[in-house]
Amino acid sequence: DDGPDRPMTAPSPLLPPLRDVIARHGLAASKALGQNFLLDEQLLDRIAAIPGDLAGQTVFEVGPGPGGLTRALLRAGASVVAVERDRRCLPALAEVEQAFPGKLRVIEGDALAIDPEREAGGGAHIVANLPYNVGTALLVGWLSGDRWPPWWQSLTLMFQREVAERIVAAPQSDAFGRLAVLAQWRSSARIAMNVHRSAFVPPPKVMSAVVHIRPQPAPEGVRFATLERLTGAAFGQRRKMLRQSLKGMPGALDALERCGIDPTRRAETLSVADFVEVARAIGR
Ligand code: SAM
């Protein structure tokens, strides 16, 4: 530690401050692309530390923008494969690549349309500060499927705080729903850091939080698709009793009974383990 005299933003070696990069490349934030940039390099270093020691590790970064988080990941010793949709950012990212030769590969494109495992390779850590709708869609995609542990080693993702709270929610709370079950039934999920809206340029309307997710051993005999359908039906009408909300799902009410779960309960009163047990009893 350099002590209290350390400047607020420690520039990367050989790289100008992010504010200058944004000005020089004319990277006015685009609302349509959900752009809110992080410029404080100390904050970015703290985010880059969340996955643990990244020396020699590969990181798949979604939406690097002007490259603030990318620089922090590279400073932490990672190799980074990044996918960015906004081609205006590519010259700024090329400068980052020059400062860390051979350590950064940028793919121009839509993160929802590429195969990240093929691009980044197995065992990569995924890190992203993304627009909220894209982030949730990608998260569910990364949590899906029957291959577990998955190809990625960890997820470190910035969300609106309200969405982050839904991901880590416990039963009996308003935030508990499909997202919590899908994120927790075979992973650990926690809020690693709250981020104030004023940390972003421009500041968004709401607060943010970084969620960290790690795969855990999967319960046996449960298919992801079954659990997804079950939670979709159960929380689709969350105010209703399960005997009502699960009516349309073949085998679900039978399974509930076999698990000894009272069908007059509402979805948010079941634990993650209860949902796993019912999905297993449905069996398809
Ligand atoms: N990582 C930078 C930071 O922390 O300052 C930028 C964050 S900004 C909230 C989100 C970035 O994701 C933008 O650069 C935007 O262009 C990019 N983006 C939005 N949708 C995308 C998509 N579908 N695929 C890849 N990048 C996307």
The ipTM estimated for the assembled molecules is 0.99
Q: How far apart are CA 178 and CA 234, in angstroms?
A: 8
* pLDDT score of 244: 97
* pLDDT score of 136: 95
Would the annotation count 38 as a binding residue? yes
Residue 34 Cα, ligand 1 centroid: separation in angstroms?
Answer: 7
- Confirm if 48 and 75 have CB atoms less than 8 A apart: yes
* pLDDT score of 132: 81
Q: If DSSP states are collapsed to H, E and C, what string results for the chain?
A: CCCCCCCCCCCCCCCCCHHHHHHHCCCCCCCCCCCCEECCHHHHHHHHHCCCCCCCCEEEEECCCCCHHHHHHHHCCCEEEEEECCHHHHHHHHHHHHHCCCCEEEEECCCCCCCHHHHHCCCCEEEEECCHHHHHHHHHHHHCCCCCCCCCCEEEEEEEHHHHHHHHCCCCCCCCCHHHHHHHCCEEEEEEEEECHHHEECCCCCCEEEEEEEECCCCCCCCHHHHHHHHHHHHHCCCCEHHHHCCCCCCHHHHHHHCCCCCCCEHHHCCHHHHHHHHHHHCC
Residue 194 has pLDDT above 80, yes or no: yes
Q: How far apart are CA 36 and CA 197, in angstroms?
A: 10
Extract the tokens encoding 238: 């969350």
Any atom of ligand 1 within 6 Å of the Cβ of 21: no
Residue 4 confidence class, pLDDT cut points 50, 70, 90: very low
pLDDT in tens, 127-184: 999 888 899 999 999 999 999 999 999 999 999 999 999 999 999 999 999 999 999 9
Nearest CA to ligand 1 atom 20: 33
What percent of the chain has pLDDT above 90? Answer: 90
Residue 3 has pLDDT above 50, yes or no: no
- Token look-up 């005997």 returns 243
pLDDT in tens, 50-109: 999 999 999 999 999 999 999 999 999 999 999 999 999 999 999 999 999 999 999 999
Any atom of ligand 1 within 6 Å of the Cβ of 48: no
Residue 242 has pLDDT above 50, yes or no: yes
Would the annotation count 3 as a binding residue? no
pLDDT in tens, 28-48: 989 888 899 999 999 999 999
Residue 138 Cα, ligand 1 centroid: separation in angstroms?
Answer: 13
Q: Is 191 exposed, middle or buried (0-12, 13-18, 19+ CB in 10 A)?
A: middle
The pTM for the full model equals 0.94
* pLDDT score of 131: 86
Would the annotation count 45 as a binding residue? no
Any atom of ligand 1 within 6 Å of the Cβ of 33: yes
Would the annotation count 194 as a binding residue? no
Any atom of ligand 1 within 6 Å of the Cβ of 53: no
Residue 189 has pLDDT above 80, yes or no: yes
- Mutation test of ligand 1: which of 9, 42, 86, 158 has the most ligand atoms closer than 8 Å to its C-beta? 86
Any atom of ligand 1 within 6 Å of the Cβ of 47: no
Any atom of ligand 1 within 6 Å of the Cβ of 135: no
Residue 190 Cα, ligand 1 centroid: separation in angstroms?
Answer: 22
Residue 65 Cα, ligand 1 centroid: separation in angstroms?
Answer: 5
- Confirm if 234 and 257 have CB atoms less than 8 A apart: no
* pLDDT score of 38: 97
